[in-house]
Amino acid sequence: MASGLLSDCASSSSCSIRLHQFKGKSRAFARPFGCNGSISLPLRNLSVKNCTFASNSTGWSLSAVSSAAMTDNASAIIIDGKAVAKQIREEVASEVARLKDAFGIIPGLAVILVGSRKDSQTYVRNKKKSCEDVGITSYEVNLPEYCTEEEVLKHISVFNNDPSVHGILVQLPLPRHMNEQNILNSVSIEKDVDGFNPLNIGCLALQGREPLFVPCTPKGCMDLLHRHNIEIKGKRAAVIGRSNIVGMPAALLLQRENATVTVVHSRTSNPEEIVRQADIVISACGIANLVRGSWLKPGAVVIDVGINPVEDPESPRGYRLVGDVCYEEACKIASAITPVPGGVGPMTIAMLLSNTLTSAKRIHNIK
Ligand SMILES: Nc1nc2c(c(=O)[nH]1)N[C@@H](CN(C=O)c1ccc(C(=O)N[C@@H](CCC(=O)O)C(=O)O)cc1)CN2
């Protein structure tokens, strides 16, 4: 069944792409496009009758499940990450302008890319462009696939000591011959805008401690929940996937806000049953359409972190992106859901800009 299917990859979204490119020797991408048949799980019919969601000042609420009928056509609120990310970028831009005008400080972000993966190159290009748009100075280092770990460490050390750089990130995944741990450990925690240094992750895990930075994708997931007034305290949450960059920190963040969290991973038996109990589902396992409508509790909020390419001859690229969650089924059961693309993805870069701004303000002691 589903256990054994879930990915425990270290970097969720890019890993999902690798999974399909390299695991299957005979095909580049997952097939087919719809949810039916993309994985061999029985589709159980869940009755969604006798279920409704009460309105409140924000338009809706998760908490009330009562008697009115929900038809097959009922659809979830679409959590528009692209729009929220735009708003955050505007907020960051105006604060960056204030920093420059009032204190003459321009936040700086250094990005290190090793190798020539197309997806990583695109993400780095988008990060640079986003920095430009909001007035953050970006510094880029591109190293060949077969450079040494020492070369990467040398660049990190230079950026650690450069006062015009307030944030440093190393684009993941790194080539296999590199020790990711050594590299992430060497980024100064004061400039660790990705939040991947174990000291930052450690503080996230400890009660009474505050990390200097929280990893961008899970932070973006939480921000979407907050901005949509989704109650977290006391709710059951399921996080699917336990990667260092999404699943694990997402689970810690939900727990810090007093959700009761279960992490579902590749060795979990009966993942559907666990997910079906959850009021909030964050999926970051990198398997196209793994989570079917029948896995969801009616009214659940679904945050889909997966970005999985599936073959699509009609698309100019020859593929299109789908999430870990079967969207067309889930939007009939969930009360709110993030689309893919346009959901969590754009939040990752918005949070990176926000973390870089926060870093510059903290380093220069500006409120
Ligand atoms: N050092 C890091 N490496 C990686 C991170 C990270 O946060 N830090 N996350 C991912 C990749 N990533 C940013 O680096 C990233 C992934 C996806 C998106 C995004 O906006 N996706 C769009 C779709 C894009 C498309 O059409 O191809 C969406 O979901 O709407 C932004 C950033 C792994 N590595």
DSSP 298-312: TT-EEEE---EEEE-
Active site residue 127: yes
Q: What is the whole-number distance in angstroms between the Cα of residue 349 and the centre of ligand 1? A: 7
HSE, side-chain direction, 13 A CA sphere, residue 298: 19
Instruction: Please state, as a whole number, how many other Cβ atoms lie within 10 Å of the Cβ of residue 27.
Output: 11
Are residues 281 and 296 in contact, defined by beta-carbon separation less than 8 angstroms?
Answer: yes
Rounded CA separation 296/43 (Å): 12
Rounded CA separation 38/31 (Å): 6
Pairing of strands 308-311, 319-322: antiparallel
167 lines ligand 1 (CB under 6 A): no
Instruction: Please state, as a whole number, how many other Cβ atoms lie within 10 Å of the Cβ of residue 280.
Output: 24
197 lines ligand 1 (CB under 6 A): no
Rounded CA separation 259/154 (Å): 41
Domains of the chain, each with CATH number or no CATH: 12-82+217-347 (3.40.50.720), 103-214+349-356 (3.40.50.10860)
Q: What pTM does this model have? A: 0.86
| Predicted local confidence at residue 72, as pLDDT | 53
| Predicted local confidence at residue 117, as pLDDT | 97
Which of 191, 192, 194, 235 does the annotation list as catalytic?
A: 194
Tokens linked to 110: 């250094």
Rounded CA separation 209/225 (Å): 22
Q: What is the whole-number distance in angstroms between the Cα of residue 122 and the centre of ligand 1? A: 9
Rounded CA separation 128/121 (Å): 11
Report CA 81 to chain centroid distance, whole Å. Answer: 11
14 lines ligand 1 (CB under 6 A): yes
- Residue bearing the CA closest to ligand 1, atom 31: 345
Given phi > 0 = left and psi -120 to 50 = alpha, else beta, which region is 156?
alpha
DSSP 105-167: ---EEEEEEES--HHHHHHHHHHHHHHHHHT-EEEEEEE-TT--HHHHHHHHHHHHT-TT--E
342 lines ligand 1 (CB under 6 A): yes
324 lines ligand 1 (CB under 6 A): no
Q: How do the pLDDT tens digits run along the chain, 367 residues long?
A: 333 345 444 333 333 332 222 222 222 345 444 675 433 222 222 222 222 222 222 222 222 222 223 335 648 999 999 999 999 999 999 999 999 999 999 999 999 999 999 999 999 999 999 999 999 999 999 999 999 999 999 999 999 999 999 999 999 999 999 999 999 999 999 999 999 999 999 999 999 999 999 999 999 999 999 999 999 999 999 999 999 999 999 999 999 999 999 999 999 999 999 999 999 999 999 999 999 999 999 999 999 999 999 999 999 999 999 999 999 999 999 999 999 999 999 999 999 999 999 999 999 999 9
Query: Burial level of 271, CB count in 10 A (0-12/13-18/19+)?
Result: buried
Q: What is the whole-number distance in angstroms between the Cα of residue 90 and the centre of ligand 1? A: 20
Count, residues in the chain = 367
Q: Which of 7, 14, 117, 123 to mutate to test the pocket of ligand 1 (most atoms within 8 A of CB)?
A: 123
Instruction: Please state, as a whole number, how many other Cβ atoms lie within 10 Å of the Cβ of residue 274.
Output: 18
DSSP 206-239: STT---S---HHHHHHHHHHHHTT---TT-EEEE
Alpha-carbon distance values, 147 to 50, 51, 121, 155, 228 (Å): 60, 57, 17, 12, 44
- The minimum-distance atom of ligand 1 relative to the CA of 124 is 14
Query: Burial level of 147, CB count in 10 A (0-12/13-18/19+)?
Result: middle
Specify the DSSP class assigned to residue 22.
I
Q: What is the whole-number distance in angstroms between the Cα of residue 295 and the centre of ligand 1? A: 26
Active site residue 194: yes
> What ipTM did this prediction achieve?
0.98
Q: What is the whole-number distance in angstroms between the Cα of residue 348 and the centre of ligand 1? A: 6
* Cβ neighbours of residue 87 closer than 8 Å, sequence gap 6 or more: none
| Predicted local confidence at residue 35, as pLDDT | 74
11 lines ligand 1 (CB under 6 A): yes
